[in-house]
Amino acid sequence: LGLRLPGKGYPSPEGDAPMALPPRYTWLDSLGEGGQGSVELVMDQDLGRCVALKTLHSHKTNKEDLIDLYQESRITGQLEHPHIMPIYDVGQLPDGCLYYTMPRLPGESLHHVLALRRRGNAETLARWPLMPLLQVLGKVCQGVGYAHAHGVIHRDLKPANILLGEHGEVLVVDWGIARVLHSVDGARGRLWSREGEERVERVRGSPPYMAPEQVKHPDHVSPAADVFCLGVILYEVLCRESPFPGSTLDE
């Protein structure tokens, strides 16, 4: 419609924005960052809503990093399930870096909830007794099962990648290292680094949750590796501690 709606209740600190954005978006705040990239809170002027925009760090310019972010947005965008984070938009920033947008989910991660339970936090124990946590895990299993049925293995399931909304939402996020066994949309499912050459898988994941075969044989990981991760999370929910408390990958 050509309309640019102001962000009601939010400042527009464009001078403080960490990056240039397409005209559709106005930067509002930084939500966090990890080893690969950052997540920014932006106003989608076309639809008048706040969304989270994920992009790579400015120094992440090699081919593999770009492929990983593209694969993450494409895989997540094709997995349409109530318990998998949806993708709203994907594109390039003015500097050429890739980005995608998704809902900003108010709430907390399962990791935060379990950490407070381990510390015996009375408020968390009252708000999150065992049965609601098991129901959360059941919803996670539904989302992961849907992904497996569509040929996608997450490979990094852990409480930090399970977001809990204020109104009962449960979303599995961060499909950045997912492995595609076959494509959701009928196209070739595996991404390739050069014409005719398959990308070589490397060991990636979160050691306390990784199945042994994910460490020893990353090229041959099956959906069973995700089931292993879910079992570790179930153990943490039931016992309030990790089954593998080692400080190194071997431990």
CB neighbour burial string for 12-21, b if at least 16 within 10 angstroms, e if fewer: eeeeebeeeb
Cβ–Cβ < 8 Å for 189, 183: yes
Residue 54 to residue 43: CA distance in whole angstroms: 13
Pairing of strands 179-180, 152-153: antiparallel
Residue 29 among the catalytic residues: no
Task: Give the CA distances from residue 53 to residues 42, 93, 154, 198, in Å, rounded to whole numbers and listed in that order.
Answer: 7, 11, 21, 30
Q: Which residue in the list 68, 89, 156, 226 is annotated as catalytic?
A: 156
Q: What is the distance of C-alpha 164 from the center of its chain?
A: 13
Cβ neighbours of residue 217 closer than 8 Å, sequence gap 6 or more = none
Question: Within 10 A of 147 (CB to CB), how many other CB atoms are there?
Answer: 25
Q: Which residues are catalytic?
A: 156
